[in-house]
Amino acid sequence: MPPLSILDLAPIPQGSTPGDALRNTLDLAQHADRWGFTRYWVAEHHNMTGIASAATSVVVGYIAGGTHRIRVGAGGIMLPNHSPMVIAEQFGTLAELYPGRIDLGLGRAPGTDQRTLRALRRDPAASDHFPQDVLELQTLLGPLDAGRVIQAVPGTGTNVPLWILGSSLFGAQLAAMLGLPYAFASHFAPDALMQALEVYRARFEPSAQLAKPHAMVGVNVIAAETDGEARRLFTSAQQAFTNIFRGTRGQLPPPIDDIETYWSGHEKVQASGMLACSVVGSPETVRQGLDAIAARTGADELMVAAAIYDHRARLRSYEILADIMAGPQTVGAPGREPAHA
């Protein structure tokens, strides 16, 4: 199985506050740090009452300051919302504070709706300049060229590793052309996954950052002691994705006993399509499901998302994944730190 990393949207469960969500994020990151996960990423979203990671660079610093080993980063920063100079300074500062541990994943979408985009004071056409902005950011984080007047301080010379994020062929082509690692958002937009991976690998050009392609695949994983318990936990995500189509986004709802009573047939097709790259079940079910995804995609790394209402259940889900990473001999082994510690 490839290495496992975590994508945490800092979900705000119903009845909780953004502060609660961010403290839960740090707690999960600290467990993940000890359990052997490779990376811990948070993502930029705006005007979404169920997600607490809007100030992404601030959250990255909060997590990095509370952990020791795990790489921490953005999955990602929506670069059209920002000046490359500002992002270079923010992530250059993080790299100086936490050397060798900061990642910077870059997305082309705004991470919000058009009205909120105007509130961000960004031109809706800014995404058209995404490739140029990536190159500008790469230059600002790289070594100081002779004669360059503008520097990111901190930032210049930190060489923060860049990733291209995407759910279409555009990101795959750009990542390949620039010789950057590529993360596909199959945890919510799986349709073009295999085609994008094929394009990325076929067109990859080695760079100073990366000698060969490195593809990370997003997957939702809900693990519990039994398949039935995991399926019940998964109903929170299923309700949340159904609510997207109803135009009623909100905080993460608690699980329900029967999802069929919540969605219509058409909503089920839509939400299930977005959640098609999901593995839900007991430890053995999850192990087999992840092995199948790894074999099908040839992923160099899997990025796991888990929208679970109860924080203790979310910790337990990732603890099960940590046991799977370590091998079957560790499942239930004495001496492992429990999820509720």
- What do you get for the CA distance between the two ends of the chain, in Å? 27
Section 9-17 average pLDDT: 96
Average pLDDT, the chain: 93
pLDDT grade for 340, boundaries at 50, 70 and 90:
very low
pLDDT in tens, 134-161: 999 999 999 998 888 899 999 999 999 9
CA separation for the pair 130, 132 (Å, rounded)? 5
Cβ distance 120 to 150 under 8 Å?
no
Q: What tens digit of pLDDT does each residue of 27-49 get? A: 999 999 999 999 999 999 999 99
pLDDT of residue 91: 98
Determine the pLDDT at residue 19: 98
CA–CA separation, 7 vs 303, rounded Å? 6
Q: What is the mean pLDDT of residues 225-246?
A: 97
Instruction: Using pLDDT thresholds of 50, 70 and 90, give the confidence band for residue 128.
Output: confident
Nearest residue to 90 via CA among 147, 163, 79: 79
Task: Estimate the crossing angle of helix 227-246 against helix 311-326, to 10 degrees.
Answer: 120
Query: Which pTM value belongs to this model?
Result: 0.93
Closest CA to 319 of 294, 333, 337: 337
Answer with the residue of higher pLDDT: 13 or 335. Answer: 13
Residue 333: pLDDT above 50? no
Q: Does 225 score more than 50 pLDDT?
A: yes
